[in-house]
A = this chain, B = another copy of it.
Amino acid sequence: MAEIVGAYFTSHVPAIGGAIHRGDQQTPYWKPFFDGFVRVHEWLAEVKPDVAVVFNNDHGLNFFLDCLPTFAVGAAAEYHNADEGWGLPLYKPFAGHPDLSWHVIETLVADEFDPATCQKMLVDHALSIPFELAWPEVDAWPVKIVPIAINTVQHPLPSAKRALAFGRSVHRALASWPGAERVVVIGTGGLSHQLDGARAGFMNPEYDRFCLDHLANDPDALTHHSIHEIVRLSGTQGVEVLNWIAARGALGPTAREVHRNYHIPISNTAAATLLLDPV
Contacts from A to B (Cβ < 8 Å): 63, 65-72, 105-106, 109-110, 112-121, 154, 156-159, 162, 165-166
Would you give 22 A-B contacts (Cβ < 8 Å), ordered by A? A63-B67, A65-B117, A65-B119, A66-B119, A66-B121, A67-B67, A67-B69, A67-B117, A67-B121, A68-B118, A69-B69, A69-B114, A70-B114, A106-B156, A109-B156, A109-B159, A109-B162, A114-B115, A114-B158, A114-B162, A114-B166, A117-B154
B68 touches A117 (CB 8 A): yes
A200, B164: Cα distance in complex, Å: 43
CB distance from A200 to the nearest CB of B (A): 25
Known: A66-B120, A119-B66, A120-B66. A71 touches B114 (CB 8 A): yes
Taking a contact as CB atoms under 8 Å apart, the answer to whether A118 and B156 are in contact is no
Q: Which residues on the B side are within 8 Å of A157 (C-beta)?
A: 109
- How many copies of this chain sit in the oligomeric assembly? 2
Complex partner residue of A69 from B116, B120, B159, CB under 8 angstroms: B116
Say whether B70 contacts A118, CB under 8 Å: no
Min CB gap A177→B, angstroms:
16
CA distance A119 to B165 in the complex (A): 27
Q: Is the beta-carbon distance between B67 and A109 smaller than 8 angstroms?
A: no
Task: List 15 extra interface pairs beyond A67-B67, A70-B115, A114-B158, CB under 8 A.
Answer: A65-B117, A66-B120, A67-B118, A68-B116, A68-B118, A69-B69, A70-B109, A70-B116, A105-B156, A109-B158, A109-B159, A110-B156, A112-B159, A114-B114, A114-B162
